[in-house]
Structure 1
Amino acid sequence: MDAFPAYFPLAGARIVVAGSGEGALNKLRLLASSPATLVRVEGPDAFLTGSYSGALLVFIDGEDEAFAKGAAAAARAARTLVNVTDRPELCDFTTPAVIDRGEVVAAIGTGGASPMLATMLRNDIEQRVPEGTGRVAALFRNFQDDVRARFPELHARRAFLRETLSGAVAEAAQGGDMEKAQSLFRAAIAQGPKAAGKVQFVAGRGPADLLTLRASRALAAADVIAADPGADPDILAMARRDAERMTPDEATPEAMIDLARSGRRVVRVVVQAPPAEEVRFLAAAGVSVEVLASAS
């Protein structure tokens, strides 16, 4: 990862856009729906440090090299983060291609190397992010404290949220019926934990692009990961960074049964087909088991 993506809260923030070119207008349009205070700076004022005082971010559309360098120097003297259109060497950060769904914002960046590629990728991904996604996120934020109080254990909370995000609660919010969504959410919280854990065997020999979508989703949702030696690193990179790690020796059938019964999702990344007797043993114990092979 050559650049670290981060999100800055914009409520109450001051953002300065300096310059008068098309790039400046694009930034103003991009931020028009945000809760930030937008300040436009043009001409000689762009060279004054005071023009940028208190700004969280500064966007500069360099009309020419002298303007770009002078404005960037003044902004940095005010201790702000600076982005200069088409001049990555003058930037503290780059501007990604953004998918804006209100509470849900997705960004695709190339570190300034190819904005056109970022735009193309955004167009592809945007079609997969429904318009109502922001309403779902807003609903879940409003119930965040209630969920934490009802499900103090992290794995139980994750299991509840996974189930709720794929059920009637999210569907109602997606469709705009927020009153129904809130009612269903309250009922689900009151009902408490009900999602059972499972054990999923994922083919780990590689290459990673042969993994099925179901297998990649299993890795992304795993609470516990146990990988065989020789598993493809690109496959392991798909797993959640905060998932608990176990060695294959620790991931005995008995241990996996205990984890699944406690509501956890266990993913065994294997380089050979899992032993049939192990799969049968887990199933006989009442554990949900999936064997997810590559798409080859």
Structure 2
Amino acid sequence: MEQLPIFLNLRGRTVVLVGEGEAADAKARLIMRAGGRIVPGWEEGATIAFVALADDAEARAAAEALRARGLLVNVVDRPDLCDFTTPAIVDRAPVTIAIGTGGASAGLAKAVRQRIEALLPARLGALALALHTARAAMKARWPAASDRRRAIDAALASGGALDPLDGDAADKVDAWLVAATDAAPSRLEIIRLTGLDPDDLTLRAARLLGEADHLFHPADIPVAILGRARADAVRHVAEAPPTVPPPGLSLWLERADG
């Protein structure tokens, strides 16, 4: 991962925007959509800064001056001068999907965004809001956080009761809460790794890593492979798979040449 992706709350915050013209106008629209307050130069309390100047020397000087004030700076079309880059955005508020290339190719990020835009229903944000409204009911239905997460994961899976690609999923949350079954019992799956490159993972292995609650593995399994699992999946260094796996989905990872 070349950059740390974050979502920054700019509502009511001050953002410096230096420059004018089409590039500056585009950044201004982005800032205003996020609720930021734009100022043309450094001001006490400023959060971040954008520089949209055509001249290389002027852009570098402006960025260095703002950075000296402690601001993180984005310099339009000059990734080597940037502390952060702005991604291509798919907006299904409150769902936001950001596609970045670390400044390598804005065109590629745009193309990926357009593909994702075509896949996602317009009411995806409504599904997010419906799930938020149902949080209390979900906690009552599944008091244990792990059971609740597994039930939600199953509902949101492809073809599930609340499949995010179903444009009517937002209207089905109440019915799902009534009809949902108890969380699935413990399950152990084995993944035999044929290589050490995470890009060589099979589709099945990649999917299971994205779903697993627990990872059991020898110490020599590469960090790059483990990094493809959910960040909140519990890691267990072990010499053998568990005899009695914990609740949820557990994986045993082993090297085929081991």
What TM-score do the two structures reach when normalised by structure 2?
A: 0.79
In the alignment, is residue 241 of structure 1 matched against residue 234 of structure 2?
no
For residues 126 and 110 of structure 1, the distance between their equivalents in structure 2, rounded to whole angstroms, comes to 18
**RMSD of Structure 2 on Structure 1 (CA):** 3.2
Instruction: Say if 1:59 and 1:82, in contact at 8 Å, map to a contact too.
Output: yes
Specify the alignment match of 2:55 in structure 1.
64
For residues 155 and 240 of structure 1, the distance between their equivalents in structure 2, rounded to whole angstroms, comes to 14
Q: How many residues align?
A: 254
Query: What pairs with 1:120-269 in structure 2 (closer than 5 Å)?
Result: 120-148=111-139, 150-166=141-157, 167-170=160-163, 174-176=166-168, 178=170, 180-184=171-175, 186-187=177-178, 193-206=182-195, 207-228=197-218, 231=221, 234-249=224-239, 251-252=241-242, 254-256=243-245, 259=246, 262=247, 264-269=248-253
Specify the alignment match of 1:101 in structure 2.
92
Sort the Cα spacing of 1:143 and 1:119 in 2 relative to 1 into closer, same or farther, 3 A: same
| 1:105 alignment partner, SS class | strand
Sort the Cα spacing of 1:74 and 1:210 in 2 relative to 1 into closer, same or farther, 3 A: closer
Superposed displacement of residue 60, structure 1: 1.7
Superposed displacement of residue 82, structure 1: 1.9
For residues 105 and 19 of structure 1, the distance between their equivalents in structure 2, rounded to whole angstroms, comes to 27
Superposed displacement of residue 148, structure 1: 4.5
**Deviations 1:203-235, CA, capped at 9 Å, x for gaps:** 212254443323211111101112256556543
In the alignment, is residue 21 of structure 1 matched against residue 5 of structure 2?
no
Instruction: Say if 1:227 and 1:247, in contact at 8 Å, map to a contact too.
Output: yes
Code of the aligned partner of 2:191: V
Gaps of 5+ in 1: 274-296
| 1:29 alignment partner, SS class | helix
Code of the aligned partner of 1:134: G
Gaps of 5+ in 2: none
For residues 270 and 127 of structure 1, the distance between their equivalents in structure 2, rounded to whole angstroms, comes to 38
| Structure in which a larger fraction of residues adopt helix | 1
What TM-score do the two structures reach when normalised by structure 1?
A: 0.70
Code of the aligned partner of 1:175: G
Instruction: Say if 1:20 and 1:63, in contact at 8 Å, map to a contact too.
Output: no
For residues 145 and 72 of structure 1, the distance between their equivalents in structure 2, rounded to whole angstroms, comes to 47
Sort the Cα spacing of 1:236 and 1:75 in 2 relative to 1 into closer, same or farther, 3 A: closer
**Deviations 1:163-195, CA, capped at 9 Å, x for gaps:** 222333456x952574x334225536xx67333
Specify the alignment match of 2:38 in structure 1.
39
**Deviations 1:225-284, CA, capped at 9 Å, x for gaps:** 1225655654333222332223444523x322xx2xx3x1011223349xxxxxxxxxxx
Bigger radius of gyration: 1
Structure 1 consecutive aligned stretches of length 4 or more whose deviation exceeds 6 Å: none
Code of the aligned partner of 2:186: G
